[in-house]
């Protein structure tokens, strides 16, 4: 099911888009289980993704949304 969503997303948008928060969370989780090989694979693939930055207004909005 997840793969189906992924292929559908790529079919529409042509690339995956994630935030810098997601990058941090993925690296943190691989590091906790000592999978440095997976971290390196992930980092190598980042050039294929659109990475959304986080500025102050995005951080404020994120905090407000998460608080609701």
Tens of pLDDT, residue by residue over 37-60, are: 999 999 999 998 999 888 999 888
Supply the pLDDT for residue 18.
Answer: 87
| Cα gap 67→3, rounded to integer Å | 30
Does the pLDDT of residue 2 top 60, yes or no? no
What residue segments make up the domains of the chain, in order of their start? 16-67
Write the CA distances from 9 to 1, 5, 12, 44, 61, integer angstroms: 13, 6, 5, 21, 25
Does the pLDDT of residue 3 top 80, yes or no? no
Mean pLDDT in residue range 24-47: 95
Average pLDDT score over the chain: 86
pTM: predicted TM-score of the whole model, two decimal places = 0.71
The tokens of 35 are what? 């999978």
């Amino acid at each position: 099911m997840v793969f189906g969503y992924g292929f559908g997303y790529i079919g529409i948008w042509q690339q995956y888009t994630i935030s810098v928060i997601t990058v941090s969370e993925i690296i943190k989780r691989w590091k906790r289980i000592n999978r440095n090989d997976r971290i390196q694979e992930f980092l190598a693939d980042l050039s294929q993704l659109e990475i959304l930055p986080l500025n102050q207004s995005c951080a404020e909005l994120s905090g407000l949304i998460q608080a609701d």
